[in-house]
Chains A and B, each alone.
Chain A
Amino acid sequence: MTKIKPADVFIIILTILIIIFLFIQTYSQPQDSSELLVRVNEESWRFTLEDDRIVHIPGPLGDTVIHIQAGETYVTESPCISKICIAAGKISKPGQWIVCLPNHVFISIEGSGNSDSGNDEVDDVVF
């Protein structure tokens, strides 16, 4: 039990392999696999951000019109009164969302890439 022995080498190599595998598995995920998720009550739709299109989402009040253009999404028409969803502007990154409460429409961009690890900007810094 004093010097290094064959099974030690085996265990060390095995552990290194497991760790390398975990590193690759965890950190090499595709970064831009984000897609658009639209939910109305129990229903939901998924769209890719790559293709430009105009989508009509039926809600309790009427159709909400969503534009997908050059990787960005925004609401152009909504039957609601306040039009906050239109005022919300364009979203393009995972984690961002637009919501229209009167029409029960929830629009969000989901992605495994950099959803909550802010690699672009910091919310706020306090010293």
Chain B
Amino acid sequence: MLFSKNKDSTPLGKNLHHEVVEHTQYFITHIAILAAFSLFLSTVEYMIPKPLPFMRIGLANLPIIIGLSIFSLPELLLLTVLKIVGQGLINGTIFSYIFLFSAGGSLGSMLMMYCVYKLLGRFTSFIGISITGAMTSNAIQLLLAHFMLFGSSIWIIAPPFLLMGFITSIFLGIFANVFTRKSRWYADITTRRKIQENSMRKSSGTKGGLNSHAEK
């Protein structure tokens, strides 16, 4: 579904089509794995006592940070939505206003991290990206709290809230750095992604620009 624009009917195209479908399945499987991982981390985080309801470590964002370098934007959106819904289910907040905070924060931070990754990816490691994501998420949550619930008094807790997010995001970033360096699973996926990108480039190369334009 996510790569359906590459469907072809020629023999060569069919071959490629199979390859693409296989790749799609492969990546959907890994979205599912990361989403499940995120659910697990939500559970772990749920057990850790927190001084204030929104002061969270953000463990469940780790799969999204790692996913940034593997997935495309629609895949990341899917992963984020799965994470939000899963987290809502586990924390029991899915039908409360806290769910809006978490949804807004997660989506916003994911998009922001994606932008930073695409624009500054060569100059940052996961630490910078993780901090950006945490700050965006916290800022969005504060803004939502300001306009929906508490008014301007929410800004009294803003500094420690942001500081906490800053510190935990550094650790998450360090973990993501180490993980992407050591994990064979991750190395396997990135290799796959490269192969897939090559094959997609090849398919558009052999078919010529005309056909692929007509497809769109």
Contacts and interface: CB of A to CB of B under 8 A. Distances in A.
Given A11-B132, A15-B135, A5 B123 contact: yes
A2 B180 contact: yes
B124 A5 contact: yes
Contacts of B121: 1
B101 interface: no
A28 B56 CA distance: 26
Interface string A1-31: 1111111101110011011001100110000
B158 A22 contact: yes
Nearest to B179: A2
B159 A19 contact: yes
A27 B158 CA distance: 11
A19 B135 CA distance: 10
B120 A26 contact: no
B163 A11 contact: no
Contact of B123 (A6, A16, A22, A27): A6
Interface string B105-138: 0000000000000001101111110011001000
Nearest to A115: B153
Contacts of B123: 5-7
Contact of B120 (A2, A7, A15, A19): A7
Nearest to B169: A15
Interface residues of B, number: 24
B126 A23 contact: no
B131 A7 contact: no
B162 A11 contact: no
A18 B134 CA distance: 14
B131 A11 contact: yes
A26 B158 contact: yes
B177 A2 contact: yes
A1 B128 contact: no
A4 to B, nearest CB: 5
Contacts of B159: 19, 22-23, 26-27
A18 B136 CA distance: 13
Given A1-B69, A2-B177, A27-B159, A16 B124 contact: no
Contact of B125 (A3, A18, A23): A3
Interface string B147-167: 000000001101100110010
Contacts of B201: none
Contacts of A10: 128
6 contacts: A1-B69, A1-B177, A8-B131, A11-B131, A12-B170, A19-B166
Given A2-B177, A8-B173, A19-B166, 7 more contacts: A1-B69, A1-B177, A2-B180, A2-B181, A11-B131, A12-B170, A26-B158
